[in-house]
Chain A
Amino acid sequence: MSINLDSKIPEGPLADKWDNFKADEKLVNPSNKRKFKVIVVGTGLAGASAAATLAELGYQVEAFTFHDSPRRAHSIAAQGGINAAKNYRGDGDSIHRLFYDTVKGGDFRSREANVHRLAQVSVDIIDQMVAQGVPFAREYGGLLDNRSFGGAQVSRTFYARGQTGQQLLLGAYQQMARQIGLGNIKLWNRMELVDVVTVDGRCAGIVTRDLMTGEVSSHAAHATVLATGGYGNVFFLSTNAMTCNVTAAWRAHRKGALFANPCYTQIHPTCIPQSDDFQSKLTLMSESLRNDGRVWVPARAGDDRAPDQIPEAERDYYLERLYPSFGNLAPRDISSRAAKRAVDNGQGVGPLRNGVYLDFSDAVSRLGKDTVEERYGNLFEMYERITGEDPYSVPMRIYPASHYTMGGLWVDYELMTSIPGLYAAGEANFSDHGANRLGASALMQGLADGYFVLPYTISNYLAPLLNQPVPGTDHEAFKVAENAARDRFRQYLSIGGTRSPDYFHRELGKIIWDYCGMERSQQGLEKAISEIPALYDEFCKDLRVTGGGDSLNQTLEKAGRVDDFFQLGMLMCRDALDREESCGGHFRTEHQTDDGEALRDDDNFAHVSAWEWTGDPSNPNLHKEHLEYEVAKLQTRSYK
């Protein structure tokens, strides 16, 4: 298969590229838009905003979600906020600074042109969401409030209490609901994508499985958008929702879409530590807490006194000590590794010694309990419900957990995957965050892609297709894909082994976390690469799925998702082994500075690793997209 890795970055100086693209792109006139059908899979921030906007423009949109309602998508759980270069504080922010912070935060492994465009459209997102009625936090004068987030020295984060993701998603969902009510979007709920169909190298549509009836059916369109989120649940324990999965992206990958940088996963520093083996998921405590909370551990390993019994002099506020200029707001990858070192060093706190303290006692005495409550009240409540401890009087215990995946389907500047007509938006693509994402940037990217990028770029693809016939669902390729999907689900049911899908998912997650988590080494990755296929083999032979295939069966759904996680897990470890450097969330123990910081190798690894499916999960083909830095000069990241 010939692979075209042309990133299609427009001509001109960095700051003009997006305008140049818009000036030159092909357009579809308003009365012709209704002749084009666009499928949007996923209804989180990227999917809902794309579906709503494309429908407003006049395209026929069909939206798919496996939830009962678009409003359940996991974007809803984002807590802290959304970045935008509004400079409402007058504190030195600008589009250039947001661009630079994002490239630097991503450890110089993202595409400059994409990131600059993201920073440019960030300001429009806030305007759009306020017009939708999103109740962002305000000051007494009635203007919008801001807070700071990790990796930035300005306050550019807009927020709605600790529920920013919820309010933004509801805004996008409501905009989409309006178009559903008007008949411009056809919504398919409780439908899961099970395959992507290509005809003559172009994406012709998708095959879905109706979760209520098990019926497998085809849907054809001129263009298809995957806005199906990230793959953090490959670790089993993560802050993702229980049903988050890689299936849509993985099925596209198997049909020819390249998968980029799968080893770039973000481990979020502030989650509630695991309490027992049965745990099903981990809960994030917003990074915004680090604005006012101070991270510390006992200076002496094995100190098991209660936190209020440990005097100041015997505490190690290690982030403030190691990174004085960013302190407790050091970026996520750096904060996570520092926590891991403290715990590995025996300084961990809590019953299992698997956490560090995030202490609000200074903030409470400085600001008063009321102010702290106003800022973080709902987070504190959530913490107390889970742990049974009151964070106003006892420091929180936190530990890093898998939270976000920077890797994803490779896309060009127009967000098109390597399959023409197939787009990927939001967390499902790889484009904007490099090797590490800054806090409050996921919401920004999801909405940027859906509101302000895809609606422009998609017409560039569709315009030349006007009045051209496209393959319908009666095409042979759809029938083949449908039958393959039916066979696959029948197969899960017929194995008749002894173990549930969750069992295999948990075992897979342990391997990935141990060898491809916060720290990776050649030896560990090689071990993972030999262990995963053996476990996968056991999955194929010993899986047990009870119930039938022609009615609602959550066990069967799970089996399909775990199958895809296995294959992705192999690719992740392979990618991590291949990338012989440390950058952002990818930390190879062999590649670190004397004081334990990530050591990049720009001469050999300033590229995107885009993997091609070959039919053998352990033997994919590597393609490289070289990354050029014209404006943000390559330099060693320092937050000291």
Chain B
Amino acid sequence: MSTKLTNLKLKIWRQAGPDDAGRFETYEIPEISDEASFLEMLDILNERLIEQGDEAIVFDHDCREGICGTCSLMINGQAHGPQRASATCQLHMRTFNSGDEIVIEPWRARAFPIIKDLMVDRAAFDRIVESGGFISAPTGGAPDANLTPIPKPVADAAMDAAACIGCGACVAACPNGAASLFTSAKLSHLNRLPQGQAERFRRTEAMVDTMDDYFGSCTNHGECQAACPKEISIDMIALMNSDYRKAKFKNRKNLSRI
């Protein structure tokens, strides 16, 4: 049966727009069920604010099942809060205790400018994918799906990497604001598969170079892995670096052949 948490104090980042300085504001939650999700608590708070005539707190969210990657909160300094391997939307109030003070901030990274309150702009991720995060296979010309057997361990490893939800927690957790885990997850997904080989090195160079245009550099802190709601391993970054080094040679060699 559900029990109630009482006297929570929320310190929430409010910022009217990209150019506003922003500040913390404090809100009291006198009582909330431990069955409520963290975002449901914010829904209830927002409904109260609207009915009082105040502007609701802006935060990104959508599927509330931990798969769309839209939600994005730093909770007490941790990306997606204290529960391992889950997105903010999967966090429930039973993780907290009565009387807790909870600090809620947006992702903080130079590549993710704040739009309003807790919402940030993660368009730089799309730019990385657009530069090479795909297999060029126009509709219509595909051979039979069983033509190329893929060993199960390879398919499974590709799936482990493909599980990335693009939420940006890795960037938010990284002291350098690097996007190496995100980029390497996509590369490890596509570069491992037989279908991905034709573009492997072109893809690697393009995505890494685009990543470097927007994000900081990786210095192997490993915070990204700890924050990732899908537990994507930093081994992917090693694979990316290895492929990037190869790509730098191979792509030049390919060019000289033209």
Could you list which residues of chain A lie within 8 angstroms of chain B, going by C-beta atoms? Answer: 49, 52-53, 56, 67-72, 74, 76-77, 86, 88, 124, 126-133, 135-144, 160-161, 163, 165-167, 170, 173-175, 177-178, 180-181, 189, 212, 241-243, 275-276, 278-281, 283-284, 351, 381-382, 385-386, 388, 451-452, 455, 498-500, 502-503, 544-547, 551-555
Question: Which residues of B in the span 83-139 have a Cβ within 8 Å of any Cβ on A?
Answer: 83, 85-86, 90, 92, 94, 115-116, 119, 121-123, 125-126, 129-139
Q: Separation in Å of the A168 CB from the closest CB of chain B?
A: 11
Q: B36 within 8 Å of A by Cβ?
A: yes
Task: Name 19 extra pairs, CB < 8 A, besides A128-B137, A135-B189.
Answer: A56-B139, A68-B121, A127-B142, A133-B195, A135-B162, A137-B155, A138-B155, A144-B145, A174-B129, A180-B126, A241-B62, A276-B36, A280-B40, A280-B43, A351-B2, A385-B92, A498-B51, A503-B51, A555-B50
* Residue of chain B at shortest CB distance from A49: B139
Question: Which residues of B in the span 203-232 have a Cβ within 8 Å of any Cβ on A?
Answer: none
Could you list which residues of chain B lie within 8 angstroms of chain A, going by C-beta atoms? Answer: 1-2, 16-17, 33, 35-37, 39-40, 43-44, 46-47, 49-51, 53-56, 58, 60-70, 83, 85-86, 90, 92, 94, 115-116, 119, 121-123, 125-126, 129-146, 148-152, 155-156, 158-159, 162-163, 165-166, 189-190, 193, 195-196
| Residue numbers in A under 8 Å from B135 (CB-CB) | 131-133, 174
- Those 5 A-B pairs whose CB atoms lie nearest each other, nearest first: A142-B149, A181-B130, A131-B142, A174-B134, A131-B137
How far is B16's CA from A53's CA once the two chains are assembled, in angstroms? 40
Q: Is A135 in contact with B68, judged by CB distance below 8 angstroms?
A: no
5 intermolecular pairs with C-beta atoms under 8 Å apart: A72-B68, A77-B68, A166-B163, A173-B129, A554-B56
Q: Is A140 in contact with B145, judged by CB distance below 8 angstroms?
A: no
Q: Is A546 in contact with B56, judged by CB distance below 8 angstroms?
A: yes
How far is B132's CA from A275's CA once the two chains are assembled, in angstroms? 44
Q: Separation in Å of the B183 CB from the closest CB of chain A?
A: 14
* Residue of chain A at shortest CB distance from B35: A275
| Residue numbers in A under 8 Å from B166 (CB-CB) | 69, 71
* Residue of chain B at shortest CB distance from A139: B152
* Residue of chain A at shortest CB distance from B94: A388
| Residue numbers in B under 8 Å from A141 (CB-CB) | 149
* Residue of chain B at shortest CB distance from A138: B155
Q: Is B50 in contact with A546, judged by CB distance below 8 angstroms?
A: yes
| Residue numbers in B under 8 Å from A167 (CB-CB) | 159, 162
Q: Is A135 in contact with B2, judged by CB distance below 8 angstroms?
A: no
Q: Separation in Å of the B146 CB from the closest CB of chain A?
A: 5
| Residue numbers in B under 8 Å from A86 (CB-CB) | 145
Q: Is A276 in contact with B64, judged by CB distance below 8 angstroms?
A: no
Q: Is B138 in contact with A67, judged by CB distance below 8 angstroms?
A: no
| Residue numbers in A under 8 Å from B140 (CB-CB) | 124, 128
How far is B59's CA from A554's CA once the two chains are assembled, in angstroms? 9
Q: Is B92 in contact with A127, judged by CB distance below 8 angstroms?
A: no
Q: Is B190 in contact with A127, judged by CB distance below 8 angstroms?
A: no
Q: Separation in Å of the B201 CB from the closest CB of chain A?
A: 16
Q: Is B123 in contact with A69, judged by CB distance below 8 angstroms?
A: yes
How far is B48's CA from A499's CA once the two chains are assembled, in angstroms? 9
Q: Separation in Å of the B48 CB from the closest CB of chain A?
A: 9
Q: Is A76 in contact with B63, judged by CB distance below 8 angstroms?
A: yes
| Residue numbers in A under 8 Å from B139 (CB-CB) | 49, 52-53, 56, 128, 175, 451-452, 455
Contact of A69 among B33, B126, B195 (CB under 8 A): B126
Q: Is B126 in contact with A276, judged by CB distance below 8 angstroms?
A: no
Q: Separation in Å of the B203 CB from the closest CB of chain A?
A: 11
* Residue of chain A at shortest CB distance from B122: A68
* Residue of chain A at shortest CB distance from B210: A181
Q: Is A67 in contact with B159, judged by CB distance below 8 angstroms?
A: no
| Residue numbers in B under 8 Å from A551 (CB-CB) | 16-17, 116
Q: Is A500 in contact with B51, judged by CB distance below 8 angstroms?
A: yes
* Residue of chain A at shortest CB distance from B117: A552
- Known A-B contacts A67-B62, A128-B137, A140-B152; the reply to A386 vs B70 at CB < 8 A is no
Q: Is A280 in contact with B1, judged by CB distance below 8 angstroms?
A: no
Q: Separation in Å of the A77 CB from the closest CB of chain B?
A: 5
How far is B17's CA from A243's CA once the two chains are assembled, in angstroms? 22
| Residue numbers in A under 8 Å from B148 (CB-CB) | 142
| Residue numbers in B under 8 Å from A166 (CB-CB) | 67, 163, 165
Q: Is A131 in contact with B195, judged by CB distance below 8 angstroms?
A: yes
How far is B51's CA from A127's CA once the two chains are assembled, in angstroms? 53
Q: Is A351 in contact with B1, judged by CB distance below 8 angstroms?
A: yes
Contact of B39 among A280, A500, A547 (CB under 8 A): A280
Contact of B90 among A284, A382, A554 (CB under 8 A): A382
Q: Is A170 in contact with B142, judged by CB distance below 8 angstroms?
A: no
- Known A-B contacts A68-B70, A68-B122; the reply to A130 vs B63 at CB < 8 A is no
Contact of B119 among A132, A180, A544, A552 (CB under 8 A): A552
Q: Is A177 in contact with B158, judged by CB distance below 8 angstroms?
A: no
How far is B35's CA from A351's CA once the two chains are assembled, in angstroms? 12
Q: Separation in Å of the A384 CB from the closest CB of chain B?
A: 10
| Residue numbers in B under 8 Å from A124 (CB-CB) | 140, 142
Q: Is B195 in contact with A130, judged by CB distance below 8 angstroms?
A: yes
How far is B165's CA from A356's CA once the two chains are assembled, in angstroms? 32
* Residue of chain B at shortest CB distance from A84: B145
Q: Is B150 in contact with A500, judged by CB distance below 8 angstroms?
A: no
| Residue numbers in A under 8 Å from B67 (CB-CB) | 76-77, 163, 165-166
How far is B17's CA from A207's CA once the two chains are assembled, in angstroms? 25
* Residue of chain B at shortest CB distance from A178: B134
How far is B56's CA from A139's CA once the two chains are assembled, in angstroms? 50
Contact of B62 among A74, A132, A499 (CB under 8 A): A74
| Residue numbers in A under 8 Å from B163 (CB-CB) | 161, 163, 166
How far is B116's CA from A547's CA once the two chains are assembled, in angstroms? 12
**Residue among B49, B63, B92 with max Cβ neighbours from chain A (10 Å):** B63
| Residue numbers in A under 8 Å from B126 (CB-CB) | 69-71, 177, 180
Q: Is A135 in contact with B158, judged by CB distance below 8 angstroms?
A: yes
How far is B50's CA from A547's CA once the two chains are assembled, in angstroms? 9
* Residue of chain B at shortest CB distance from A388: B94
How far is B144's CA from A88's CA once the two chains are assembled, in angstroms? 11
| Residue numbers in A under 8 Å from B85 (CB-CB) | 381
Q: Is A181 in contact with B131, judged by CB distance below 8 angstroms?
A: yes
Q: Is B152 in contact with A130, judged by CB distance below 8 angstroms?
A: no
| Residue numbers in B under 8 Å from A53 (CB-CB) | 138-139
* Residue of chain B at shortest CB distance from A275: B35
Q: Separation in Å of the A135 CB from the closest CB of chain B?
A: 4
How far is B64's CA from A241's CA once the two chains are assembled, in angstroms? 7
Q: Is B130 in contact with A177, judged by CB distance below 8 angstroms?
A: yes
* Residue of chain B at shortest CB distance from A189: B123
Q: Separation in Å of the A538 CB from the closest CB of chain B?
A: 14
| Residue numbers in B under 8 Å from A180 (CB-CB) | 126, 130
* Residue of chain B at shortest CB distance from A162: B67
Q: Is B51 in contact with A544, judged by CB distance below 8 angstroms?
A: yes
**Residue among A86, A132, A551 with max Cβ neighbours from chain B (10 Å):** A132
* Residue of chain B at shortest CB distance from A212: B115
Q: Separation in Å of the B108 CB from the closest CB of chain A?
A: 17
Q: Separation in Å of the A272 CB from the closest CB of chain B?
A: 10
Contact of B155 among A76, A136, A165, A500 (CB under 8 A): A136
How far is B131's CA from A173's CA once the two chains are assembled, in angstroms? 13
Contact of B68 among A74, A130, A139, A189 (CB under 8 A): A74
Q: Separation in Å of the B110 CB from the closest CB of chain A?
A: 17
